[in-house]
A and B are shown apart, each in its own frame.
Chain A
């Protein structure tokens, strides 16, 4: 029997016994079982090499898992062949560390590349995207605050702007789920918060679930609904952000003096942590 998932909500993700061993012998993931309900924004934390990136890439099979199964709603992604996998990938938008934009293409081409799974090769070759896609791309650029940069080359933008293009590209897919890999790894603390807030907001607006790899524990506590801690490819913590006590962090990362861990350290951060951002916050974030 297939699992009972409410048919009205889309974008529920289920990982069962997911395991990845690389050909080099590295055991990146060991028997990870995880369920992400629709609309939940989940933060994945853990030391470098704990398997966070591998986990995310096993979901859309940029990395082939060695064992275990991945379900998106009722679709078993791990059972799909080339064509079916490509159609399934359209439902999962991915946002990358260091943006992974195609640097020599324009901002607009990058956003429209989110539609590649929907248009034919010839249409995409001559950049003749359907008017609806183009309209939608302009709306997304407006949403992330880059309307006037549409025709600039991606490598002409700043780090924060590039990641906004990355977000717009992922949203252009009209996904049900976002896979987010270290979105703020090369951004300054302020820009990092703006990007995280933007991701939270678009998830809330569209009812998207998301898995977000984060290096920065404070950032994870501030923006995530639920935290999963990974250590050496195993889930060692799964709970609310408030549950990240020094003992838990030691369990995830190993022995260290964790200092004061309350997320609300400064006035600005206290503001942000207080709850839903107001209009001014959004305006600033853009």
Chain B
């Protein structure tokens, strides 16, 4: 069939095909090399022993110590407050930062926008746990450090998603509002805000959901919440309490996930 002048179609040329195979081969080799390097200091006796160890730990973890729940309610409430207040504080900072960072709303592309972008990147590059570690040193242990840690981490997340939403708005709607003789603040209120409101609500709820999860571990470094109890229980090898804390965290995360999904669906 190729002889009769029928054009022979091939997605890639023979050379390209060969190159692709070579690429895959190199990738597999790389994996093998890395694996050997990673495991050369592994003491394999411990690994072979792992199932026994795990079974042993598990046997000490069950049944959970349900009576410990009485002393978990308050830390749990603290955890929820850290997440919620932290998200609110983050929104207060992130909304203006997003407007300063978005190409189409920033007052100055050369001066203001880079500063706003830097705030966003700086906030995003540090994990909430590390923010908490720093803040516990500065502010002392407690809820306040947790709230601020969550807020600092969330500013970048909310700011980035929000400024991207602002940059994607329909410019004709903005133009139409400007054409009526509206001032800049009115253009913002009528032309831009209605367009980003659904994205804004979605982002806020999504971040709150993430912050619930993050705030459960902040106590590990002393920033308040249920993580404090977790660390205390692990330190004294009170495994049945640890199990209960895991269950409580899991239940909280599931509940917050369900709630945020409901809210997001209602907004769209």
- Report A's interface with B, CB cutoff 8 A: 60, 62, 86-90, 92, 94, 96, 98, 100-105, 109, 113-118, 121, 124-125, 166, 169, 173, 179
B194 CB contacts on chain A under 8 angstroms: 102-105
Q: Say yes or no: is B197 at the interface (Cβ < 8 Å to chain A).
A: yes
Complex-state Cα separation, A57 to B186, whole angstroms: 20
- Report B's interface with A, CB cutoff 8 A: 170, 172-173, 175-183, 185-186, 189-191, 194-195, 197-198
A179 CB contacts on chain B under 8 angstroms: 179
With contacts A96-B172, A102-B176, A113-B177 known, is A86 near B191, CB below 8 A? Answer: no
Q: Do A104 and B197 have beta carbons less than 8 Å apart? A: yes
Complex-state Cα separation, A98 to B198, whole angstroms: 22
Q: Do B175 and A62 have beta carbons less than 8 Å apart? A: yes
Q: Do A60 and B176 have beta carbons less than 8 Å apart? A: no
Q: Do B176 and A101 have beta carbons less than 8 Å apart? A: yes
Q: Do A121 and B179 have beta carbons less than 8 Å apart? A: no
Complex-state Cα separation, A98 to B173, whole angstroms: 10
Residue from B170, B181, B195 in contact with A86 in the complex, judged by beta carbons closer than 8 Å: B181
Tell me how far the C-beta of B176 lies from the nearest C-beta in chain A, rounded to whole angstroms.
Answer: 4
Q: Do A94 and B189 have beta carbons less than 8 Å apart? A: no
Q: Do B180 and A113 have beta carbons less than 8 Å apart? A: yes
Q: Do B181 and A173 have beta carbons less than 8 Å apart? A: yes
Q: Do A116 and B172 have beta carbons less than 8 Å apart? A: no
Q: Do A116 and B190 have beta carbons less than 8 Å apart? A: yes
A169 CB contacts on chain B under 8 angstroms: 176, 180
Tell me how far the C-beta of B195 lies from the nearest C-beta in chain A, rounded to whole angstroms.
Answer: 7
Closest 8 CB pairs of A and B: A117-B181, A116-B182, A89-B181, A100-B176, A90-B181, A94-B179, A100-B172, A104-B194
Complex-state Cα separation, A105 to B176, whole angstroms: 13
Complex-state Cα separation, A86 to B184, whole angstroms: 10
Query: Taking CB as reference atom, which chain B residue is nearest A121?
Result: B185
B170 CB contacts on chain A under 8 angstroms: 103
Complex-state Cα separation, A117 to B170, whole angstroms: 21
Q: Do B190 and A89 have beta carbons less than 8 Å apart? A: no
With contacts A124-B189, A124-B190, A125-B189 known, is A103 near B173, CB below 8 A? Answer: yes
Can you name 24 A-B residue pairings with CB atoms under 8 Å? Answer: A60-B179, A87-B181, A88-B181, A89-B179, A90-B181, A92-B179, A98-B172, A100-B175, A101-B173, A102-B173, A102-B176, A104-B194, A104-B197, A105-B194, A109-B190, A113-B182, A113-B190, A115-B180, A116-B182, A117-B181, A117-B182, A121-B186, A124-B182, A125-B189
Complex-state Cα separation, A166 to B183, whole angstroms: 20
Q: Do B175 and A89 have beta carbons less than 8 Å apart? A: no
Complex-state Cα separation, A35 to B195, whole angstroms: 38
B186 CB contacts on chain A under 8 angstroms: 116, 121, 124
Complex-state Cα separation, A124 to B175, whole angstroms: 18
A118 CB contacts on chain B under 8 angstroms: 181
Complex-state Cα separation, A102 to B190, whole angstroms: 7
Complex-state Cα separation, A94 to B174, whole angstroms: 13
Complex-state Cα separation, A173 to B177, whole angstroms: 12
Tell me how far the C-beta of B4 lies from the nearest C-beta in chain A, rounded to whole angstroms.
Answer: 42
Query: Taking CB as reference atom, which chain A residue is nearest B196?
Result: A104
With contacts A96-B172, A100-B172, A100-B173 known, is A117 near B180, CB below 8 A? Answer: yes
Q: Do A121 and B183 have beta carbons less than 8 Å apart? A: yes
Query: Taking CB as reference atom, which chain B residue is nearest A87?
Result: B181
A90 CB contacts on chain B under 8 angstroms: 180-181
Complex-state Cα separation, A105 to B191, whole angstroms: 10
Residue from A86, A96, A98, A104 in contact with B183 in the complex, judged by beta carbons closer than 8 Å: A86
Complex-state Cα separation, A139 to B180, whole angstroms: 19
Tell me how far the C-beta of A88 lies from the nearest C-beta in chain B, rounded to whole angstroms.
Answer: 8
A60 CB contacts on chain B under 8 angstroms: 179
Q: Do A121 and B181 have beta carbons less than 8 Å apart? A: no
B173 CB contacts on chain A under 8 angstroms: 100-103
Tell me how far the C-beta of A94 lies from the nearest C-beta in chain B, rounded to whole angstroms.
Answer: 4
Tell me how far the C-beta of A186 lies from the nearest C-beta in chain B, rounded to whole angstroms.
Answer: 12
Query: Taking CB as reference atom, which chain B residue is nearest A86?
Result: B181
Q: Do B189 and A173 have beta carbons less than 8 Å apart? A: no
B178 CB contacts on chain A under 8 angstroms: 62, 89
Q: Do A121 and B189 have beta carbons less than 8 Å apart? A: yes
Q: Do A173 and B180 have beta carbons less than 8 Å apart? A: yes
Query: Taking CB as reference atom, which chain A residue is nearest B187?
Result: A116
Known: A92-B179, A100-B172; 9 extra A-B contacts, CB below 8 A, are A88-B181, A100-B173, A103-B170, A113-B182, A113-B190, A116-B183, A117-B180, A121-B183, A173-B180
